[in-house]
A and B are shown apart, each in its own frame.
Chain A
Amino acid sequence: MNSALVYIVVRSLKNRILDMLRTPSKLVTIIVLIAMIVFLGILPMLTGVARQGGVADARWFKGIVFALVTLFFGMSVQNGLTRGNSIFGMNDVNLLFVSPLRTQAILVYGVSNMLKTALVASLFILFQGSSIGNFGLGFDAVLSLLLGFVVAMVLMSVLTLFIYTLTNGRPRRKLAVKIIAPLIFAPVAICFAIMCVETGDAWASLLRIFEHPVFSWTPVSGWAAEAVFGLAMGQGLMGALWMVLTLAVAAAILVYFSRSNPDYYEDVLVATETLFEKQRAISEGQVNQEALSDRRVRVGRTGLGGVGASALFYKHLRESFRANVLGLWGLSSIIIVGAGIVLCAVSRDIATYALALPMVLMWMQMFLIGTGRGMKEIYSHYIYMIPERSFGKIFWSNLEIVFKTLIESAVLFGVGGILVGAPALLILFCILAYAIYSMLLISVNYVSMRWTGMQINTGLLVFLYMIMVVVAIAPGLVVAVIVGTLIDGIAGMIVGFALLTAWQFIASCICFYLARGVLDKNDMPQVNIMS
């Protein structure tokens, strides 16, 4: 790479490290993250704790990697056909593209940046130790998955760029890509269909297809899956060969790209500018994804309701019903409720319905609660300027997400309860417990904001919020579990859920009280993502 580009890479890295060392909050975040990776991800694998329940067939691991890479592939094709990919930042466009540096060198610099991003994005894999342990695999499987993920991300970025270059402004080529891309998976799909017909068992056929050569030779997805699986199973040579094949595709595309299209700037400009505009909009307080989406929206019915603070609730209803065909139900609601009902239908087990399902849902809800319009409202000045009391504004602006959760909860636990044959009282308390949990999460969010004044690092704030949720729910949860265990059977579950519901309501009220005046006594937060 050109010395100027090396200088940028090295100097940026050095400045980033110095900035981290000079900013205590960033340093603490990094230390906490490393500690979490070590204690939650790596140690359980090395000590064998995660392997204790290793009963699942390891071939599923290969299938999951295949599905993951296929998902990336689909996204790459979609992006390649629409806006291309951004392996550069706007600063690169403004400073490097106009410089006399060789375009090939700049391309290598862009790819190295992409590699860096892929590495950071793949850190979450280190937390998957216990999940991978369920397949009877060790820490080497985590590392091989990490490597596979990074390679797949880089390959897909390059592929996106390649498709965009080939098809931009050429409708017939776009059509060809749209036809060819799914055809890549046709052999494996046909093979699977034949196996299903032959055996009459879709489940067994799925496991068999994972070992079939057609699966292994499926471009990119199959290669990457075989590479990760081979390395994870200790078949180093085989795994390395598949990995080389996957990398060779990326290298071939890059070589083709640099030789045939040295003037690629235009091809990356649209995606770079789009990304930059989105980042700028977010940092200017526009955190609504709808504002950043290109999707056309039908206005339909117009007009709002409510007066004073309640106008916020009616505004949220209008926005939600305009953004989604199903109103309060977005795509995430459909996926969560659908998956929950399928789980109940498959398991037909009350313990899964009343214990496993709420546990998973409550964990997810901790993060999904932030997607509500009420939580986004605090990034805009309107809610602060409305001449009403802070509590009223918070109450009305978060009613939409509580209402949404209540409907999700009613459908999920209602239908799920009927499917597993749960008594009406248990269904009722499951519905209430999950719905009121959202209230607790909102109130804890505001307490964490109130106490920190929103003047801390976002990562630390999220960490603090998670700790506070655990602290807030713990007393009720402990009592519910103890009492529920003492009373045997379904009656114990009902009493346990009733106690948990009651405690969540009390804890929410306490937290809302502690967070009083949050809109008057805090800084309006800003999202800082521009680098």
Chain B
Amino acid sequence: MLLVENVTKRYGRTLANDGVCMSVASGELAVLIGPNGAGKSTIIKSICGLLRFDGRITVGGFDNRTPDAKRILGYVPEFPSLYPMLTVDEHMEFIARAYRLGEGWRGRAEDMLARFELSDKRTKLGKELSKGMQQKVSVCCALLPEPKAVILDEPLVGLDPRGIRELKNALAELKAAGAALLVSTHMLESVEENWDLTYIMVGGRISRTFRRSELQAGESLEAAYFAATEGAGTSSEGGAAAPADSGMQNGAAASADGGIQNDMQNDAQGGGRS
């Protein structure tokens, strides 16, 4: 569903993403993790069509810049950015109108607002909401068009415990419904239950890719992360994680000769931007 092929992004002389290859199939939850400044937010924004890049990104087979791709893509940004002069309800209506959603959207919107405890805030303006509530509205806006692929950049930051629980449940439901999910987060425990595939990004490159089944018995996502980012790889690094429809058969996600060291050098030369 989501396919990122050899994407390179520069900010002036800074290399933020260097030949990134990723893919997420329908019904999969992929986790994108990495240290600060690794380039996670940059690749996410590139996928969402917010940044120019070299390489190719498709969503559901469509180039990510096309309306067809945007129609099936949902995005929850790192920083919720609501319209200060629109009410919560009007945010929902705006998305419904802009995406030309059918009549059923009102019921879905009401359900989502209730789920995230926003029903009593429907007439509140964007500027009147706390940051956590803004994040919840942002999630609702992204999910209202029933996207087939959803990208979430640090979605749990600022949410209260119930918000976190509901978002986790929503992600599980979306996954069960066949959506492709890409979640960038530092809160590894929040995706521990549902993840299928993990991309570890260091210095603008995917330094390691692995599926849940590839973890050693008892090894947690956190342990795998530290093993990868602290230079003591414990699992495959050759892109074996690529799903069948991903186009990653070439194993481009990481170099076979221990890409981590190279990535660290690369980071030192230019660094990334997260």
Contact = CB atoms under 8 A, between A and B. Distances in A.
Interface stretch (A113-121, A351-359, A518-526): A518-526
Interface string B48-72: 1111100000000000010111110
B87 A299 contact: yes
A450 to B, nearest CB: 11
In this complex, the interface size class of chain A, counting residues with CB under 8 Å from chain B, is: 35 or more
Contact of A318 (B45, B48, B86): B86
Interface stretch (A97-105, A247-255, A280-288, A339-347): A280-288
A308 interface: yes
B165 interface: no
A299 B84 CA distance: 11
A304 B67 contact: no
B67 A284 contact: no
Contacts of B83: 288, 315, 319
Given A304-B94, A455-B12, A291 B48 contact: no
A297 interface: yes
B97 interface: yes
Contacts of B99: 386-387
A291 B67 contact: no
Contacts of B69: 387
Interface string B66-92: 011111010101010101111101100
B74 to A, nearest CB: 8
Given A297-B125, A522-B52, A386 B98 contact: yes
Contacts of A382: 81, 94, 98
Contacts of B97: 304-308, 311, 314
A302 B123 contact: yes
A323 B52 contact: no
A59 interface: no
Contacts of B51: 523-524
Given A291-B127, A304-B97, A315-B94, A521 B52 contact: yes
A297 B93 contact: no
B48 A302 contact: no
B50 A302 contact: no
Given A385-B48, A385-B49, A523-B50, A312 B98 contact: yes
A380 interface: yes
Given A302-B90, A387-B70, A522-B52, A288 B84 contact: yes
A264 to B, nearest CB: 29
A290 interface: yes
B259 interface: no
A318 B75 CA distance: 24
Given A285-B79, A286-B81, A302-B123, A384 B94 contact: no
Contacts of A290: 84-85, 127
A303 B91 CA distance: 10
Interface string B32-52: 000000000000010011111
B52 A523 contact: yes
Contacts of A314: 97
B126 interface: yes
B100 interface: yes
Scoring B68, B97, B100 by chain A CB atoms within 10 A of each residue's CB, the highest score goes to: B97
Scoring A308, A380, A522, A523 by chain B CB atoms within 10 A of each residue's CB, the highest score goes to: A523
A322 B94 CA distance: 16
Given A311-B94, A381-B50, A520-B65, A387 B71 contact: yes
B55 to A, nearest CB: 14
A299 B123 contact: yes
A397 to B, nearest CB: 11
A288 B69 CA distance: 28
A304 to B, nearest CB: 5
Contact of B81 (A306, A312, A380, A521): A380
B146 to A, nearest CB: 13
A159 interface: no
Scoring B77, B94, B123 by chain A CB atoms within 10 A of each residue's CB, the highest score goes to: B94
A309 interface: yes
Nearest to B99: A387
A395 to B, nearest CB: 14
A388 interface: yes
Contacts of B12: 455
Contacts of B79: 284-285
B50 A524 contact: yes
Contact of B68 (A307, A308, A387, A521): A387
Interface of A: 284-286, 288, 290-291, 293, 297, 299, 302-309, 311-312, 314-315, 318-320, 322-323, 380-382, 384-389, 453, 455, 520-524
10 contacts: A284-B79, A285-B79, A288-B85, A304-B94, A319-B83, A382-B94, A385-B49, A387-B69, A388-B67, A523-B50
Given A299-B123, A312-B98, 9 more contacts: A286-B81, A290-B127, A299-B87, A299-B125, A303-B90, A304-B94, A318-B90, A387-B67, A453-B52
